[in-house]
Structure 1
């Protein structure tokens, strides 16, 4: 007999080209650092960066309790680093959220939001090492737009 409810997800991770930029003097940056402050949260974030997963799958893969996973998922979700993209069901019919890393990549700039010239120099330096690519151009434009540069 076939299953009526999906027990697997076909969600995939797709990233936009527009990054969020967090500066060290921003309240949101403190919240992100706090959410990623434990090794467990970092492990969960890395796992979700590779593939979408349910709390039960994460708990099994990292050998920890589902309650502990839910705690860290809540923290990561609250600051916008992860999001729910799908729902599937356990074999017992319980609804399970499927989490992934948030669509928009996040850049952390360890300078203040007032230090636009330093941020521009950092991107130019990075581009000279890696080479200019459409991604870096897009990234630079996005950061300039976020910071209100002409």
Structure 2
């Protein structure tokens, strides 16, 4: 019976952030939809994982009717959309909701300023994904502390054996490297953080140059 009902697909929000100016045409609808705590909780939950109305009711601890009311308002404001359709074990059709945008930024300023901010955010967010891939590759190639142990006999196993031996001989176990030590010695983490700083700096310089034109 379960084969009759398709599994839920992964849903990715659009890559571009949405920048809403407080004096823009869509500001009233967006701010009105987000005026309630429950609506903001629903939108936050959907950014974490798309869900049906009944799942959202459980996650934000409210009634199904209340969730549906706020989903309608969020949909009218263009903040959520119907991302998929799934079926319950009883064959009932259920809509899966997801965020309409990868990120939402509400700003005050002239139209030309918000347009520049939209472009800056797009470039910044667009650079994070390839940077993460490069950082992960560096971590693996340079055998960093967070690199996957494909052989299954990495430092964790060696440390466990060493700790057991030390405990048997001296009655004490070395605590080993701390998380901070691992982070500071990780080539992937250092590369990623350095890349983020460079991206933010480049984006800020580009935005400042546009404002001075």
Q: Which TM-score applies when normalising by structure 2?
A: 0.52
CA offsets, 1:6-63, max 9 Å, x none?
A: 3x512323431x3332111113012101000000001101100100100011112222
Q: Does 1:21 align with 2:19?
A: yes
Larger radius of gyration: 2
Q: Which residue of 1 aligns with 2:156?
A: none
Which of the pair is proportionally richer in helix? Answer: 2
Q: Which TM-score applies when normalising by structure 1?
A: 0.71
Distance 2:39 2:70 in 1: 6
Aligned length: 131
1:105-144 equivalences under 5 Å are: 105-113=103-111, 116=113, 131-133=197-199, 137=203
Distance 2:36 2:78 in 1: 17
1:18-97 equivalences under 5 Å are: 18-97=16-95
> Unaligned stretches of 5+ in structure 2?
125-195
Q: Contact 1:13–1:51 (CA<8 Å) still a contact in 2?
A: no
Q: Contact 2:17–2:101 (CA<8 Å) still a contact in 1?
A: no
